[in-house]
Amino acid sequence: MSSVESIKDIKERKHRNRGFCSFVKTMLLKVFLFTRYYIDILIDVIFGYFNDSKRVPIKKCTNPIILESATSLAQKIRKRELTSEEVVQAFVDRIKEVNPVLNALVDSRYEAALEDARKIDRDIANGTILDVDFQEKPFLGVPFTTKESSAVKGMSFTLGIVKRRGRRATFDADYITLIKNAGAICLGVTNIPQLNLWQETHNPLFGITNNPYNSTRNVGGSSGGEASLLAAGGTPLSIGTDIGGSVRIPAFMCGVFGHKPTSHLISTAGTTYKACDPDRTLIVISPMARKTDDLIPILKVLFGKSVDKLKLDVHVEVKTLNICYIQNPKDFSVSPIRDEMKFALNRAVKHFKEISTTPPEELNIEGTKFAGKLWKYWMSQESGVNFMKDITDRTGEANPIVDTIKHFTVGSEYTTSTIYNFINKLLPSPNEDWAIKETEKLREQLLAKLGNNGVLLYPSAPFPASYHHAAYLRPWNFHYFVIWNVLKFPVTQVPMGLNKEGLPVGIQVVAAPYQDHLCIAVAKELEKAFGGYVPPFETS
């Protein structure tokens, strides 16, 4: 009897110990999150003290053309309600108004773009361009911009690398050819972080890009120049690339829509050092827009012959979609989510609770907390990429230890963000078997929930755009974006209004591969319900 009682006592003691350990872990986590939350607040207070007085507003809009969507402008040119020259001139004038504050466009072709527009107008007037030409060229006469790390023949192509100073592209990236073939006219190229690898847009050749909602704030990266110019009314048609949130982070911080499409369908040739095989990269050519109406027409151009693999023209009955959501991905390397971001997600959830035939379902999936580790592993598998060589323009190989010491003592040709990437390369990499297994497990869990009629509402970031350079103190806050590059799911960044400081907030809408139309349909519904893009300037 005593032996039985002792075994029972041992089991109870172990159970109590486990309960105590669990309690201690929970309390330590709460203390950690509480402390981290107020450290973040303190960072903002300190950075604000030194920066708030430097804020410069951008000029009000006096020409309504710049508020039009790209598709609307194309239709007005087609109907001869506007000339292409009028449209191009309006955006050239707007860039000249806002770029001194934003530093978004780093190389322009204004006169050449205006001449391209005049030729189109002449051809329309004399009947050389017919209605059928507009069908084949859906953006005929509409201006566009793209990031400086994508080759546009004759334009700056430095990648923000000092050794490439003055370099110009001698060819067009594949997607640039598609956009030009659709009739669009290039105005110029926009700023990026050095080699695209940072969550803020800054490099030693062109400096830092400012947020149009508050010039002391980050625009995100790497397509930060694009998002900043688009939000400020400097371009109607904006194309970036997304390897770890590179379109969605700037779209979030600048209050516009950004869509990372299903992977492997668009050639990446001509983007940085990328080869043309899209099957072996996380990078995806991705559009941004002020209106959801532009997203599908742009995607049809970008997908080219691959467009048949998608259902972009299929009508989506939003009320019958299976809506899932995750409030907290539980990645504790990321700053705690603030109330304003929770509110943005909960507004969307509440909306679908009111209109959907099936109530939204909250998911509790552990794998999302590994986003950063998984992304680091899959980035190490990128085809044809060697960061240490690429950062030297492949003229040698950077030495992370020597170059880090040099940077913080006598200075170097690299930005601090590049030094962070050097340090990250020195840190241990995730176990290959674990990373592959965890990626597949997470993909299967989400596919089982999403299927071909579901979307996931997901946080964008712990808080809106922070002050310039504050990301150095919170380097992992981009993890909420990278998981969708790892899984290669389509995802749309959706603006959900402004916070009390006038900065954009938003959420991500995710779907299973080849279900891009579901993301965009939900984005359109949220735009209708909550207003979408809010201009960061006064309008007449």
* Spatial distance between the Cα atoms of 207 and 213, rounded to a whole number of angstroms: 19
CB-facing half-sphere around the CA of 505: CA atoms within 13 A? 24
* Spatial distance between the Cα atoms of 482 and 489, rounded to a whole number of angstroms: 11
What are the tokens at 355? 């209109």
SS3 365: coil
Closest CA to 488 of 510, 506, 508, 509: 510
What are the tokens at 247? 């379109």
β-strands 454-459, 322-325: how paired? parallel
Cβ atoms 213, 246 nearer than 8 A: no
Q: Backbone dihedral region of 484: left (phi > 0), alpha (psi from -120 to 50 degrees) or beta?
A: alpha
What are the C-alpha distances in Å from 8 to residues 3, 13, 320, 413, 513? 9, 9, 53, 68, 52
What are the C-alpha distances in Å from 18 to residues 163, 343, 366? 58, 35, 21
Closest CA to 288 of 527, 135, 74, 69: 69
Q: Which residues are within 8 A (CB) of 99 and not within 5 positions of it... i.e. 6 or more apart?
A: 105, 229, 234
Q: Backbone dihedral region of 178: left (phi > 0), alpha (psi from -120 to 50 degrees) or beta?
A: alpha
Partners of residue 491 on adjacent β-strands: 260, 510
CA-based end-to-end distance of the chain = 90
What are the tokens at 399? 């030495």
For helices 516-530 and 295-303, the axis angle rounded to 10 degrees is 160
- Provide the strand spans (E) within 269-351: 284-289, 322-325
What are the C-alpha distances in Å from 224 to residues 180, 192, 208, 228? 22, 6, 10, 6
Cβ atoms 324, 451 nearer than 8 A: no
* Residues labelled as active-site residues: 147, 222, 246
